[in-house]
Chain A
Amino acid sequence: EPEVTQTPSHQVTQMGQEVILRCVPISNHLYFYWYRQILGQKVEFLVSFYNNEISEKSEIFDDQFSVERPDGSNFTLKIRSTKLEDSAMYFCASSAANNQPQHFGDGTRLSIL
């Protein structure tokens, strides 16, 4: 069964540094999402992306965050200047349509030191 893949599985970064989290969505999917889960808390929506532009973003997704689909297969989340509170598990998801289920990757654990 096709799946969403995320790399790396764990990223350790110094505060203030830029980090890029990478995702390969399911190949025929058109809608892409990023969520995060701070340890012990619930999964929170960050951003949705369709047709090469952001469809919706949460208040968490401020100017420090950006998303990009640099080619036909990858979908990236960039955090420009990381803060301690950015430490979380970041999940990428994709769906075939906006009324179809979202399929999640295994996540990238981001640790900010």
Chain B
Amino acid sequence: AQSVTQPDIHITVSEGASLELRCNYSYGATPYLFWYVQSPGQGLQLLLKYFSGDTLVQGIKGFEAEFKRSQSSFNLRKPSVHWSDAAEYFCAVGATGGGNKLTFGTGTQLKVEL
């Protein structure tokens, strides 16, 4: 069964500082991997995705993530955080066949200090 672990429940960074949110997955084959962001009262917005190919993927709002098969990781990074990045971030793994369900991690709540 597929699973996702986000070990950090809360992270606080200063505006302008770099950010890395950790994500580890478990899946029997090459996975589809996603990062979504959720602002309070809002839905899930797709930040970026990895399906295949280049292991460093670029997303919206200046975010990037790197797929490392050897570490079963897909960490999200941003070189300089803005106050508007404060939100909850979810890593998800998608099945590569069948119903294509997404399995989400428990999320990381990001707080940005001004």
Contacts and interface: CB of A to CB of B under 8 A. Distances in A.
Contacts of B27: none
B104 A33 contact: no
Categorize the interface residue count of chain A: 20 to 34
B9 to A, nearest CB: 11
Contacts of A93: 44
Contacts of A41: 106
Interface in A2-50: 4, 31, 33, 35, 41-45, 48, 50
Interface in B65-114: 90, 92, 94, 96-107
A34 B34 CA distance: 17
B55 to A, nearest CB: 18
Interface of A is mostly: strand
Contact of A107 (B32, B43, B97): B43
Given A44-B104, A98-B97, A104-B36, 14 more contacts: A35-B102, A42-B106, A48-B99, A55-B100, A57-B99, A95-B100, A98-B98, A98-B99, A99-B96, A101-B34, A102-B94, A102-B100, A104-B43, A105-B43
